[in-house]
Structure 1
Amino acid sequence: MTSIFDDIKSAFSRGNNALHQLIFINVVVFAVLVVLRTVMTLSGSGGVFDYLMTFLAIPSFLPLYALRFWTLFTYFFTHLEFFHILFNMLNLYWFGMLIREYLGDKRLVNLYVLGGLVGGLFYLLTYNTIPYLQMRGDSLMMGASGSVIAVMVAAATLLPNYTFNLILLGPIRIKYIAAVMVLLSISGAVGSNAGGNIAHIGGAVLGFLYIRQLQRGSDMGKPVQAVLGFFGGLFKRKAPLKVTYHNPNRPYAAGSSSSASHKGTGAPVAPGTPSQIEIDQILDKISVSGYESLTKEEKQKLFKASQK
């Protein structure tokens, strides 16, 4: 157990490790919920556990959702079934690696969070406006599927001709994998898991629009980073204030400098940093010809941009 906790601590202490952090959060929440459900069911308190789940899963009943508004965020980190979380995390890993490699950790987090939010909003909207779904009665939805399919469709939009080698099927371009998943979700919107499949559709729409807007120079995930930056700043230890004193009667030594000499210059720009226009052109080239068509210089520019 100590080794497991060390691995989790290590994953969250390192920078540029968003993919593993997202997977760890989902797995830890799943493990805690499974243990709680087992203990409470064996002790005859299964009904209490079901009630506790209304604080994590998003309800379709709007009056209840108004009292559990935070579930729009918590539901896409919540799983109760093993195969549900297994397939979600496998897909998140495979497609998340592509987004992380070409766009960086921050945009992977943006896609995951925005996909979950839009998927949840699609669920709430359809279950309270479409008569067929209203007749199904109130329900709860949980799972990261909306977030994961947002990452999947985003990767397929960015790198449509990138191939995965699937067991029994061989190399398949990811645009076809994403298309099949979207089609299955549309078909399943009238099935037993209608709410989950509707969230998939919302996540897919978000993933496609995110990449298209990014290619036009607009990042839809800036609000996500602003919120995360705000809360991250609350827990970040501030560096101690350093006070220096300069004797005005003592001349500066040759080659020395003071903070006053930099007044008004602003932060220096790292040489060789690619512009947004250059990055957009590279992304357009990838979407048309694939990543393999990039020159070594273009790959270096894309890598530098992903580290911002």
Structure 2
Amino acid sequence: MSSILDDLKMQYQLGGVAFRLIFWNVLCFLVSLPFFYQFQLGVFNFPDWIVLTSDPSVLITKPWTLISYAFFHHGFGHLFFNMMVLHFSSMLFLTFFNSKQFIGLYLLSALFSGIAFVTGYYFLHLSSAMVGASGAIMAILVATTTYRPLMTIRLLFFGNVKLWHITMVILVLDFMQFRIENTGGHIAHLAGAFFGFIFIKLLQNGIDLSRILNNPFQKSRRAPFKKVHKNYPKSAPKPSSRIVVKDKTQQQIDEILDKISQSGYDCLTQEEKEFLFKAGK
């Protein structure tokens, strides 16, 4: 059991921001099962301090639900589909953008989608509650599509298709089902898609919205070293350059990481896994 936990910890450390986000979504779902799933009725009964309710009077007293709802799901199928799309979208998004922009877009679009849901239901005179990461995931997908619409994606049974074709089909399905079922969910999807589009357009104009958030899924790092240029007198010789040699521990870490990049994490020996886990602490 301890080796499994160590492997999970190692995967969490090396998996990247998208893997960590999926991990937290799955963990929240598993934790919610024994508390909020009514096994006899087969439904989830989340309390109003987790779900996002369309009642503004409740939202005012529990503003954190504008974020918390995006980490819970009302069933395994809901979770599985969302995490599949999140995995697909995150791989594409992180090809062009960094992890801070990724998590910033996820959180900000979840917030925007939640506000759109509450506002839409208020004007439609409807009442409901919502959970799920669909709005934030749509933002990531549409953001990538806005930036590289002609990217070619190879799909099973369909062959090569353009990314904008995939995104367009999803958006059309949302529009078609808007008043048929799950109106709140479709409002969140479309709001997330709109936010993803705006996020990229602002980014292309030099405005990075993700800067207003810190990345909670990434360890803080020291500020990068800055060179200081000093003017020396002409008579004084310039300092000679020095070669910095890595210590043995760092060299061994680099060799293990190279091995992972070439053959995958499973190719490591137990000693290498334990060494890398201890070095990451």
The number of equivalent residue pairs is 225
1:5 and 2:5 matched: yes
- Structure 2 distance, partners of 1:214, 1:206, is 12
Amino acid at match of 2:111: L
Flag structure 2 segments of 5+ consecutive residues without an equivalent: 223-237, 241-281
Q: Is the 8 A contact 2:17 2:218 kept in 1?
A: no
Residue equivalent to 1:116: 110
Where does structure 1 differ by over 6 angstroms across 4 or more consecutive aligned residues? none
- 2:89 counterpart letter in structure 1: F
Q: 1:148 to 1:4 in 2, by over 3 A?
A: farther
- Look up the match of 2:22: 23
Contact 1:33–1:80 under 8 Å retained in 2? no
Question: Does the Cα contact within 8 Å between 2:24 and 2:71 map onto a contact in 1?
Answer: yes
The structural deviation recorded for 1:189 is 2.2
TM-score by length of 1: 0.66
**Deviation readout 1:57-86 (Å, 9 max, x if unpaired):** 100011111222110010111112111111
1:7, 1:172 → 2: CA distance? 37
Does the aligned pair in 1 maintain the 2:109–2:136 contact within 8 Å?
A: yes
Shift of 1:217: 1.4
Post-superposition CA distance 1:184-208 (Å, at most 9, x none):
2222221220001100011000111
Structure 2 length-normalised TM: 0.72
The percent identity for this pair of structures is 32
Query: Which of residues 130, 148, 166 is equivalent to 1:141?
Result: 130
Matches within 5 A, 1:124-139: 124-130=118-124, 134=125, 136=126, 138-139=127-128
Distance 2:183 2:82 in 1: 17
Change (3 A) 1:237 1:92: closer
Q: Choose the corresponding residue for 1:80, options 69, 74, 77.
A: 74
* Counterparts of residues 151-170 of structure 1 (less than 5 Å): 151-170=140-159
The separation in 2 between residues aligned to 1:61 and 1:13, in whole angstroms, is 39
Alpha-carbon distance change, 122 to 25 in structure 1, aligned in 2, over 3 angstroms: same
- Given candidates 80, 95, 98, the residue that maps to 1:104 is 98
Deviation at 1:11, TM superposition (A): 4.2
Matches within 5 A, 1:1-308: 2-14=2-14, 17-38=16-37, 41=39, 50=45, 52-130=46-124, 134=125, 136=126, 138-225=127-214, 228=215, 255=239
Q: Indicate the RMSD between aligned Cα atoms, in angstroms.
A: 2.8
Q: Distance in 2 between matches of 1:237 and 1:205?
A: 32
